[in-house]
Structure formats: structure tokens, C-alpha cells
Structure 1
Amino acid sequence: MTYTDPVTRAGSPAYAATDRYTVISADCHAGADLLDYKPYLEKRHHDAFDAWAATYVNPYEDLLADTADRNWNSDRRVAELEADGIVAEVVFPNTIPPFFPSASLMAPAPTRQEYEQRWAGLRAHNRWLADFCGAAPGRRAGVFQILLNDVEEAVKEIRRAVGAGLTGGVLVPGTPPGSGLPELYSGTYDPLWAVCAELGVPVNHHAGSASPPLGEEPAARAVFMVETTWFSHRALWHLMFGGAFRRHPELKLVLTEQGSGWIPGVLAMLDYYHGRLVAAVSRRDTAESKFGAGLAEAMGKGPSEVWRDNCYVGASFMRPHEAALRDRVGLDKIMWGSDYPHDEGTHPYSREGLRTAYAGLPAAEVAAMVGGNAARVYGFDLSCLDKIAARVGPTVGEIAEPLKEPPAGATSPVFAPGGGARVW
């Protein structure tokens, strides 16, 4: 059965194969085992890599566990995702790139040599990722990494990565307070937006990559959990108010693993400030007039229009209250994700997670959110994926059935008691 979603803007189709959904996870994570990055490094960095790797202590327990190979074992991933009803994935990074103290691209690197080594490490990851995606043709859209400290070098790496077959677009780190980098609204980064628009690949901004360091006290860790998604949201209004979408109308921004229930309220707030500041320009005798000077010309369209035309959300482990807001967010904007292989992800209970979020909704709308939209944004070929989904995808009837109670042992927030009230 092929579903055409009448709500999806511009008639973009959403599909399901026969009576099954074609499920694409718009949020998965992968990376090489530490020593396996060496062949992907330029040889001039091999000795430095050996010295670094010999003393490096991985700070992440999940990368030391028996299940760590889910990050790089291609056959295991395919089997586990298929068992979970998923036929394709957008692949964000997860393991530690060479020469980094942690996975954070914003970790301080005070010397030029360290910056050069970290660029080498990111290129090694991107090369590895191209091979990893090539091991499952048509089923992985790899998201490649850059640093923001050298825009010219970043543009070169974007071109190289796209040329190597990575279709997931670029992962743009945030610029948290204290980073020493220009904010994302700065014209400094315009060459990045230009090349992504030219090549037709998304700019991705993932949760957790934009928070300032807060320390390790219990209160600091709690504050991080409360604030980390807000810091990630900042990329939205920075690029909007900075005029990136006016200068590059084809640019696509994807905000991933940040929830989706916050979007209608934030768009209303941004529309309010935009309208208020633009109107204030004509009242030159007011103190507020200077805040709106040049804003209308820089932005072009207002925030809600920019969202409608240029923005998407990777709505990982989507919850019922978020699905209820789908028309306000934009049905053609929402891309479900399992967050495999993270503990907070829905694996191995993604079918149950889909039932929790989407039971009772029109099948065409579900098909758009669980796969059709991601196929359009990331360039997956649904005619190929539908054939796999006909074998492993969840059935329309299965997802339509409400879940009476969460699976025992499930750790995803989608199953948390009272989780439906949280809007992130």
C-alpha cells in the first residue's frame, strides 16, 4: 500500500510498503573503535596517534561495555535495527575522534598543533564513516564533522565528505558562552551555509553539543540536563536572525534529539520579537528602535515562515503529547528517531515506542513521520527501502494498537511514567 499524505506541504509523498511502514531512524550514532581510526589518519599523524592512544582513558562507560561494538559492527547493526523494524538510519557520531579528550568538539585545544591534530582526527572519522555507510548501501546517511575555528578548512571538508558519498550533511557544533568563537549568527560562517545549500545537504545541530562546561557537582549535572536542550535550540534563532536562510533559500536546518513539543511556543515567541523589533524601527524616538535596525532586511521572512520553508526536527523517541502537536510543528517537518545504540533510545522496543507515540493516528501521517520525511530530507531511495520494509517493517495494524504498558526493562523516556507532560 502506498500512502499519500494530503497534509504534507507541496504534495511530498510519504510511503509504506504493502501493509508495513518504512521506518527510517533520523537519529542513530556510530563511530570506529579507537585504534581502528589509525588507517584513516594521514601517515604523518601515526606516531602522534600511537602516543595519544597509549595513554588515553575513555570516559564513557557505554564505549567500554560488551555492547560497544554496536557503534562499528555493521552486520550487528543491520540485524538489530531490522529486528527493531528499522530499515535505514541517519548516523551521527558517537565514539571519540583521534586526539580529542572527549566526544565534544568544543573541548579546548590551546595550541595550533592540537587544532591541526583534531582536524586530522575529524577527517579520519569522516573517512571511516564513508566506508561504514558504504557497507550498507542506501541504508545509512552519514553525518560528518567539522570544527568552526577555521571556516575555510571546514568548507573544504564539507566538499570532500559529500564527494565521498556522505549524504547526512554536516554536524555543526554550538558556540556556547566562553567558547571564544563567534556566535552562530555571525557572518563569519556564511561560507558554511553557502556550501551546504549549494550541495543540498542539511546542517544538523544535535542536542548536547552547545552547552557550556558546568562542572561535576550534583547540582551542575542536574542543571546541565535542564539547560542542554535550550542551549541547542539557540542555533535556530541564531541562524534565523542572522539571515542565513534569506541569503541561502535552499539551506536546510535539522534540530535533532531536542524534543519537538517546544517548537510551537518558541516560534510564537520568535514571531513576537521579530514583529515587535521590526515595528520599532519606525519609532526612532524610542530606545527599542535600535534593536530592530536592519533586522527585516537581514532576515527577509519571519521566523514561522523560515521554519515552514527551511527547518526540520529529528524527533527522537517521540512521545504522545508531541504527536498531538504535529500539525502545529508541521507534519512534513517531523522525523522519528530511535537514538540507537544509546540507553535512552528505544532499541530493542522501537515497535512499542512507535505504538506509544502514534497509535490511533492516520496511517499516512504516521508514514510521513517515521520514514517519508527523513527520506526526503536525507535523500533515501524509498523504492529500495520499501522492499526491505515489506520483510521487517512494523505493520500498520500493529502500530495502530495502543500500548497498554511499557515493556519490562525499557529505558527510553518515551515509556517513562508521566513523560507525556514534558515539552522540553
Structure 2
Amino acid sequence: MTPPGPTPPERYTVVSADCHAGADLLDYRPYLPSSRHEEFDAWAASYVNPFTDLMAPEAARNWDSDRRLAELEQDGIVAEVVFPNTVPPFFPSASLSAVQPTAEEYDLRWAGLQAHNRWMVDFCAQAPGRRAGTFQILLNDVDAAVAEVRRCHAAGLTGGLLLPGVPPGSPVPELWSDVYEPLWAVCAELGVPVNHHAGSASPELREEPAARAVFMVETTWFSHRALWHLAFAGVFQRHPQLRLVLTEQGSGWIPGVLDMLEYYHRRLVGAAASSGSAARAATAESKFGAGLAELTGDGPSAAWERNCFVGASFMRSHEVPLRDRIGLDKIMWGSDFPHDEGTYPYTTEALRVAFAGVPYDEVAAMVGGNAARVYGFDLPALDALAAKVGPLVDDIARPLTETPPGATSPAFAKGSSVRVW
């Protein structure tokens, strides 16, 4: 008779792979070189904040470490990967969604991002072992970006690099360009995750109703582009240790997109092969696949399996049955704290929507174990805290029958069970 396995813990250890923070505007000043203080004072005096979630009293969640820890623990979350949220010096808006600067804008914007990175080091140090802070770069100067990767890695920002987007019309090359090879090389060398967050690759949003709707339809698609840019550029083939994390872009699209990328890979590689065969005539497509086989090796699906992960913020119930096709070991749940679309203060309810009826080991991997592995959290240490504040396993096992009043996360929205690829 086979002896029973170990009894699962009473509570889950939840690590949010998608949270946001930043300094209050004037608090960035000490993190700038003194030579920039006069320019900063002039910029800060004229800046008008357009973001309601950065206004008091909720804004303090971005930088008040004690309040933040208390609210996350209240919500059952014991650790977080921290992306930017507030407006860094010399930016017109939040840096996550800002387009790459022009040559004239670069120096000031770069000083502002480096100030944010220095602030992030101190912010994470206020909660040792519980925050994996990401750091930002610009793509205008690759050598400067590589130096910043080394500096931030050495300073302890374990959340890794936040890769900027390159929407159409950007003043820098597309992500497939070989000019970025030193960036991929240093991240692979140091084991630094490369994160690409939704909203960072879209063209600028206009205010017309149609523009806002089109933005919502396209914003995740623009962020998905990093996957096929790097795959077809051979980045994953040259750097098998590189890790790419696609965050807050959904996850239900992944199986279909991988099928599509595999189709094009086979089609183009096959067309190129035909051009070199005496037995077959070259097709009109052969030039599009020339050199692709040598660049990409075993293809996009293999690159996904080896190199890629998904920060699956407030995972929807229709996405969970796809976990084996996505890769159970690749899915990292996120709360998107402190955004309005985040699950706070109803994370337990959101987890019930997604994971009721799913085996314990699988839920434990998706809500904490995978993120701990990718971002270097000490999972046993977090388990001890989760034993006091984590959501109860028995609670998550029960389907949610009624949406909490006041819940604003799309995890609870009507239609959230409809597949969106």
C-alpha cells in the first residue's frame, strides 16, 4: 500500500509577479546628481500630475513601505516584483508608457530613470527578501544601458531589467536589431531577467473614444511583439540562459501565437531551403527565410520552452485550463497592486475565480513558486510568513459565487471568461 503523501500547507505562499511603485515627485531630487537639481526644480514646479491614482491619499501606497507591506499582507501577499508607477524626473508621464526619447531629450530622461533606479534600491532594502525591484534603461545608448544593468544588478535589484518598447515611429532601432546584442549578452551573463510589461510598446494614446478602444485592443499585442522580435533575431538561440518575462499581457494568447510563429518559421525556413535545392524551384518567399534557420535553430516554440515566462496578472478562469499548453512552470500570477485594475483588497476572491478546483501543487507553483524561482526569492523564508497571512488553501478551492461589492479588477468583470488571444 502506497503511503500517503505529505499534507499540503494550510495556506498558499503568494508572490505577486506584477506590482508597481515609485517615489513621490519631489523625493526623486536627492537621487539626481547635484548638477541636475536646478533643472529638476524648474521641471517639478511646472509639472501637473494627470493621474488620479497618484493623488492623495491612495498615492502613498507607491512609496510608503510600511503601509504597502501591511496592505499586501492583509491581502495575503508576502512578496512582490516591483515595476515602476510614478513619474520620474523630466518625464511627461509615467516612464512605463513613455516612448523612447529623441536625441535632444535623452540626457535629461536618462538622468531621471537612473534616479528612479537608485530610489528603487533603497525602497527594496526597506523590506529585505520581499521585493524584487526592476530597473529601467533607455535604448538610445546601448553602452550606457549595459553599464546600468551591471550597476543595478550589483546593487541588488533582483527583479531585473524592464525592457522598453519600440513602437512604430520610435527614434531607436526595432528590438530585432543586432545593435542590442551587448544588452542580451550582459543579461544572460548575469542571470538578469528581461521583463517586458504591457503598455510599454504601444504608440501614444489619443483621447478620442475610438482611440481609447483601439488602444485596449492593441496594447497587449504591441507588447507581445518582443517575443517574435527576439525569437526571429536568434537572441534565444545565442543566449540559451536568457530569461524573457512578458507581464500583464494576459496568457490565453500564448498557445495560438506559438502555433502561428511555428507556422511562419517552418514556412520561411522551408522556402529558403528550396532555393538551394537543384531538385526544387525556389519559391517567391525564399528571400524572406534566407538565413533564418541559422539564426533561430530549433525555432520559436523551443525558445519559449527554454527561455520565456509570463507574468499572468489576475489570471482569468478561461486561461487556467491552458496552463499545460502555456507551461505550468512558466506562469506567475500577479495582483497589479496598487492599480485600480488590481485585485486588492480582494485577492483571495480573485484567486478563487481563477483556481478553484485546480490541484494544490499547481496553484502553489502559479501563485508563488515559479516567481520565487525566476526572481530569486527565498521560498522557505516566505513560507514562514505565509503561514500567518497567506490565503487559505481550502478557501481558494471553493468557486466564487458572488463578486465582492466594490471590486474593480477585470478578474471579476462580466465577460472575463471569454477567450482573448
What band does the TM-score fall into relative to the shorter chain? over 0.9
User: Equivalences for 1:198-347 in 2 at 5 Å?
Assistant: 198-284=189-275, 285-347=282-344
| Partner residue in 2 for 1:367 | 364
User: Equivalences for 1:21-420 in 2 at 5 Å?
Assistant: 21-104=12-95, 106-107=98-99, 109-112=101-104, 114-284=105-275, 285-420=282-417
Tell me the CA shift for residue 215 of structure 1. Answer: 2.2
Structure 1 residues 170, 361: CA separation in 2 closer, same or farther (over 3 Å shift)?
same
Tell me the CA shift for residue 57 of structure 1. Answer: 0.7
Structure 1: how far apart are the matches of 2:10 and 2:170?
50
Task: After superposing the two structures, state which structure 1 stretch, 208-217 or 236-245, moved more.
Answer: 208-217
Structure 1: how far apart are the matches of 2:113 and 2:26?
14
Tell me the CA shift for residue 111 of structure 1. Answer: 4.9
Tell me the CA shift for residue 118 of structure 1. Answer: 1.1
Q: Under a length normalisation based on structure 1, what TM-score does the superposition of the two structures give? A: 0.95
Give 3-state SS (helix, strand or coil) of 1:272's partner. Answer: helix
Conservation of the 8 A alpha-carbon contact between 1:17 and 1:390: no
Conservation of the 8 A alpha-carbon contact between 1:353 and 1:415: yes
For structure 1, the 5+ residue unaligned runs are: 6-14
Structure 2: how far apart are the matches of 1:411 and 1:318?
15
Task: After superposing the two structures, state which structure 1 stretch, 22-31 or 240-249, moved more.
Answer: 240-249
What per-residue deviation string (whole Å, max 9, x for no partner) do you get for residues 290-330 of structure 1?
11111011011211111000000000010111011100100
Q: Under a length normalisation based on structure 2, what TM-score does the superposition of the two structures give? A: 0.95
| Partner residue in 2 for 1:9 | none
What per-residue deviation string (whole Å, max 9, x for no partner) do you get for residues 147-192 of structure 1?
0111000000111011111000000111100112111011111111
Structure 2: how far apart are the matches of 1:16 and 1:222?
48
Tell me the CA shift for residue 214 of structure 1. Answer: 4.4
Give 3-state SS (helix, strand or coil) of 2:318's partner. Answer: helix
For structure 2, the 5+ residue unaligned runs are: 276-281
Structure 1 residues 17, 189: CA separation in 2 closer, same or farther (over 3 Å shift)?
farther
Tell me the CA shift for residue 248 of structure 1. Answer: 0.8
What per-residue deviation string (whole Å, max 9, x for no partner) do you get for residues 195-251 of structure 1?
111110100000001011242211111111110010000000000001111111100
Structure 2: how far apart are the matches of 1:214 and 1:419?
24
Tell me the CA shift for residue 65 of structure 1. Answer: 3.5
Tell me the CA shift for residue 94 of structure 1. Answer: 0.2
Tell me the CA shift for residue 56 of structure 1. Answer: 0.6
Task: After superposing the two structures, state which structure 1 stretch, 292-301 or 333-342, moved more.
Answer: 292-301
Structure 2: how far apart are the matches of 1:98 and 1:387?
39
Tell me the CA shift for residue 395 of structure 1. Answer: 1.5
Tell me the CA shift for residue 109 of structure 1. Answer: 3.9
Structure 2: how far apart are the matches of 1:143 and 1:344?
21
Give 3-state SS (helix, strand or coil) of 1:143's partner. Answer: strand
Conservation of the 8 A alpha-carbon contact between 1:205 and 1:254: yes
Conservation of the 8 A alpha-carbon contact between 2:100 and 2:171: no
RMSD over equivalenced CA pairs, Å:
1.5
Tell me the CA shift for residue 16 of structure 1. Answer: 10
Conservation of the 8 A alpha-carbon contact between 1:144 and 1:169: yes
Among 9, 30, 46, which residue is 1:18 paired with? 9
Counterpart of 2:336, as a letter, is: D
Structure 2: how far apart are the matches of 1:415 and 1:244?
37
Give 3-state SS (helix, strand or coil) of 2:274's partner. Answer: coil
Conservation of the 8 A alpha-carbon contact between 2:139 and 2:145: yes
Structure 1 residues 17, 187: CA separation in 2 closer, same or farther (over 3 Å shift)?
farther
